[in-house]
Amino acid sequence: MYDSIDEAIKVKFAESQSILIVSHIRPDGDAVGSLLGLGLALIHQGKAVQMVLEDGLPDKYLPLSGSDLVRRTAQGEFDMSIVVDCSDIERTGSVLSNISKPDLNIDHHKTNLNFAALNLVEADSVATAATLAEHMPSWGLEIDCAVASCLLTGIIADTIGFRTSNISAQALRLSADLIDKGADLPKLYRQTLVSRSFEAIGFWGAGLNRLGRDGAIVWASLTLDDRRKIGYPDDDDADLINILAAIGDAKIAIIFVEHENGSVKVSWRAQAGIDVSGIALSFGGGGHAAAAGVDIQGDLTEVRDSVIQATKVLLAETFASKNNKILVEEEKGEHKYG
């Protein structure tokens, strides 16, 4: 056996010539940045790499190096298969249907199911791309300007521009190192977070017309009809959730997106001190304390009502346990809340 997971990963890379890398359906910036960053570094080492996203690459990431190499299906056999930024194997879609157990799982979701032979799962890492930036040198992989640009994209995306509550000095140090390698922060920041199509802003407008609130929970819904009328081409929420999460006195923001296959995509965002990963997991999804999601089969109104109800229970329980903690700590003379 090996002394460390880094050594085991390095040996597996050395033994492998053809390598498959996959990430999740409806890929976000961390999925794309991690896939491309790791893939490019392995290609530079002379490996035959296939990078696969079942839903393809969102247009905004086309400027990244290696974007033209991303495919929607895997072709042939591989010496090694790697899953990045996925807490469970179902999140990859059907790309791995011929592979029962991937060789390597690199991720940062606390709900990760450790489904591979080697699992590098760092729940306190801000992004899978940050985990890669930290570990790739110890696997003998070089982070050049192209790789650094992909990895910085992943960090910018998952920290919403370095402002999530899990941001750390170490994540900023890793990002600074990527900038030193040539990654262009302002350009990548605008490309990943700021720039929007005209249709995306129109789609926000439709969702904001259905803005709802119950105490500290706010939500909005996006219907298939909105999408068609406005001509928004993708099947995501155009990041409208981040606008809802800007409401200062809301503790939890939720967005519901109706899909053609009869399911509703639900995304939660929580303020610090509230953990929405468990509620997502209880509906069959997953994520982080501050950001989690799930696809639920069913009608938009029914899904919305049951999710809001469950979220109200979560919020009530969270405050009840905090109040209990205040009482206990007051007894101990260590009042920390309020």
Residues 45, 147: Cα–Cα separation, whole Å:
13
292 binds, among Mn ion, ligand 5GP, none (CB under 5 to 8 A by kind): ligand 5GP
267 binds, among Mn ion, ligand 5GP, none (CB under 5 to 8 A by kind): ligand 5GP
Tokens at residue 175, please? Answer: 């990002």
**Degrees (nearest 5) of the Cα angle 42, 59, 252?**
95
User: Other CB atoms closer than 10 Å to residue 216's CB: what's the count?
Assistant: 17
285 binds, among Mn ion, ligand 5GP, none (CB under 5 to 8 A by kind): ligand 5GP
The answer to whether 110 contacts ligand 5GP (rule: CB under 6 A) is no
Length of the chain: 338
The interface mask with ligand 5GP, positions 236-265, x = CB under 6 A, is ------------------------------
The answer to whether 27 contacts ligand 5GP (rule: CB under 6 A) is no
DSSP state of 193: I
Interface with ligand 5GP: number of residues (CB under 6 A): 14
Using CB under 6 A, which of the segments 7-15, 209-217, 293-301, 306-314 binds ligand 5GP? Answer: 293-301
For residue 205, give the amino acid letter: G
288 Cβ contact list (under 8 Å, min separation 6):
108, 109, 110, 166, 277
Residues 69, 36: Cα–Cα separation, whole Å:
9
Rg (CA), the chain: 20
| Least distance from ligand 5GP to the Cβ atom of residue 294, Å | 5
The answer to whether 164 contacts ligand 5GP (rule: CB under 6 A) is no
Nearest to 173 by CA among 238, 221, 125, 118: 125
The interface mask with Mn ion, positions 210-239, x = CB under 5 A, is ------------------------------
Residues 114, 87: Cα–Cα separation, whole Å:
8
For residue 308, give the amino acid letter: I
Using CB under 6 A, which of the segments 66-74, 129-137, 287-295, 310-318 binds ligand 5GP? Answer: 287-295
The answer to whether 30 contacts Mn ion (rule: CB under 5 A) is yes
200 contacts 238 by C-beta, under 8 angstroms:
yes
Is the torsion defined by CA of 245, 266, 72, 84 positive or negative?
positive
Nearer to Mn ion, 98 or 114 (CB): 114
Candidates 88, 158, 236, 295: give the one binding Mn ion (CB under 5 A). 158
For residue 195, give the amino acid letter: S
| Least distance from ligand 5GP to the Cβ atom of residue 17, Å | 30
Nearer to ligand 5GP, 16 or 164 (CB): 164
32 binds, among Mn ion, ligand 5GP, none (CB under 5 to 8 A by kind): none
Candidates 13, 51, 85, 207: give the one binding Mn ion (CB under 5 A). 85
| Least distance from ligand 5GP to the Cβ atom of residue 177, Å | 24
Judging by beta carbons within 10 Å of its beta carbon (0-12, 13-18, 19+), is residue 287 exposed, middle or buried?
buried
Strand 291-297's sheet: what is its strand order? 212-214, 217-222, 252-258, 263-270, 291-297, 286-287
The interface mask with ligand 5GP, positions 57-96, x = CB under 6 A, is ------------------------------xx--x-----
Candidates 83, 120, 130, 292: give the one binding ligand 5GP (CB under 6 A). 292
| Least distance from ligand 5GP to the Cβ atom of residue 277, Å | 8
Nearest to 27 by CA among 126, 93, 120: 93
The answer to whether 288 contacts ligand 5GP (rule: CB under 6 A) is yes
Q: Which parts of this chain interact with ligand 5GP (CB under 6 A)?
A: 87-88, 91, 109, 267, 285-288, 291-295
